Amino acid sequence: MVFLNVAQALRVRQEVNCLTDFLEECEEQLRALKKLKKSERGLLYGVPISLKDVYDCMGHDSTCGLAQFLEKPAAKDGVIVKVLKAHGAIPFVKTNIPQTLFDCSNPIYGQTLNPLNLKKTPGGSSGGEGALLAKGGSILGMGTDTGGSVRIPPSFCGFCGLRTTGYRSAQAAISTHPQPLTRGWSQVAGPMAKDVESLALCLRVLLSEDMHRLDATVPPLPFREEVYSSNRPLRIGYYESDNFTQPSPSMLRAVRLTSKLLQDAGYQVGLLSRQEGGEAGPVRMLGWSILGKKGISTRLPVRSLVSLSGLRIRCCHELWCRSQTRLGSRVFIAKWRSLDLDVLLAPALDPAFYIGYPAKAGNSSSYMALFNILNFPAGVVPVTTVTPQDEEELAFYRGYYGDISDKNFQEAVRGSVGLPVAVQCIALPWEEELCLRFMKEVETLVKNQGGRK
């Protein structure tokens, strides 16, 4: 299996430039695995897995897209790589990343293209993983998510990804090179795959006792099978916009399509409004003041929330702003609890942007970055594709502010007929199994309706 994936991965690389390294030791690892007894084989026995460039693999560079880290190979495998190998997985390639933002280009390896439309970006920063998985060059990949990086590439390229709660898996697994833009804002590992069950399989491994043994900062919380496999009815809230960046027509339609599928399947589903205290279907509204133009009760706007990228505190005002993000998280959770919600459905950022536009329309990443700020587990599931009608409606897009960011967003997503559109599935912190269960329900309903429409 691993050799077939290497061949396909190299073919994909020629088309979209998604790889940074081939892990030649995978061949020796495969030979060693074949000698194991069945009782010694792990959950990922023989599964080839691709790794975002930032994961340390002994003897290989982890450049983070920066030339200063070339020819400085890691002295040992990172914790997550060790855990994956211990359970039989075979890391075989490393994949391209940007230095910043959610495009996928750097001065060392160049620009990675979206294989579904070569004029578009696969997203980032786990963009090499996105391009490779989209073309079948890998069946399971590991990315990282600081502001949406495990969710944007799957959303742009048409598969599934999961951002875990910060510190539920090893932080030390990721490159030890300094990354100042992520200090203070949790950078978390997350799996990416064609289907939800593959994500769940990977998470069973990541949450094994090996993880806590190798990194004592990771809480010993094993995967809860009873939550993932439960048939308990879910109470689902959803929203159609973050009231900061107007959603593209396809984003809006994807959420409405998914909410209707869930309602038709018998779930309790309610539309949540910004207006606190009103009624919206079977659940009370969440009170989206945290996402409104005027921000939460502290008047901290979303643009400020999203810009808190973890740079060191330089003044009392910045310290105050950070404390308000924690307050916002507590307010958000308290409101969620008061509504007796299990999970939340939200728009994902899509369709794929033209290359170069992430830097011009980066404010739209608020759809993803909010859940990094709140530190909630969040996954994406593809549910539809851009239609000609979506493209026609985009011509009338004006945005909420009518500023250059809104205009750039409109330009970034145009010309996307046929490209995938996803939704986000969110749960409260430490509830990855419930998040995956919700993702699985959405995935199943979409498949049962005869494919994405």
Q: Which of 50, 62, 105, 125 is catalytic?
A: 125
Q: Which of 50, 52, 62, 289 is catalytic?
A: 52
CA diameter of the chain? 63
DSSP-assigned beta bridge partners for residue 41: none
Assess whether 125 carries a catalytic annotation.
yes
Q: Above 70 in pLDDT, residue 302?
A: no
Q: Above 90 in pLDDT, residue 132?
A: yes
Amino acid identity for residue 179 in this structure: Q
Cα–Cα dist 234/240, whole Å: 19
Strands 343-347 and 235-238: parallel
Mean pLDDT across the chain: 86
CA dist 118 → 31, 121, 141, 218, 328 (Å): 37, 8, 21, 40, 40
* Residue 292: predicted pLDDT: 37
Q: Torsion-angle region of residue 422: left (phi > 0), alpha (psi -120 to 50) or beta?
A: beta
Most confident of 34-38, 65-69, 258-262: 258-262
* Residue 301: predicted pLDDT: 36
2-228 has which fold?
Answer: Amidase signature (AS) enzymes (3.90.1300)
Q: Residue 298: name the closest of 326, 339, 273 by CA.
A: 326
Q: Which of 138, 149, 241, 416 is catalytic?
A: 149
- Please state the separation of Cα 442 from the chain's center in Å: 16
Every domain range in the chain assigned CATH 3.90.1300.10: 2-228, 235-448
Higher pLDDT, 173 or 325: 325
Assess whether 126 carries a catalytic annotation.
no
Cα–Cα dist 144/185, whole Å: 12
**Digit-coded pLDDT (tens) for 210-269:** 999 999 989 999 999 999 999 999 999 999 999 889 999 999 999 999 999 999 999 999
Which of 98-107, 181-190, 276-285 is the least confident region?
A: 276-285
Cα–Cα dist 427/434, whole Å: 7
Q: Residue 237: name the closest of 196, 275, 267, 277 by CA.
A: 267
Residues 6+ apart with CB under 8 A from 155: 123, 161, 348, 349, 350, 380, 382, 420, 421, 422
Model pTM? 0.89
**Digit-coded pLDDT (tens) for 338-373:** 889 999 999 999 999 999 999 999 999 999 999 998
Amino acid identity for residue 429 in this structure: P
Assess whether 52 carries a catalytic annotation.
yes
CA dist 245 → 60, 347, 398 (Å): 40, 11, 10
- R_g (Cα) of the chain, nearest Å: 21
Domain 235-448 class in CATH = alpha beta
Cβ distance 354 to 412 under 8 Å? yes
**Digit-coded pLDDT (tens) for 412-439:** 999 999 999 999 999 999 999 999 999 9
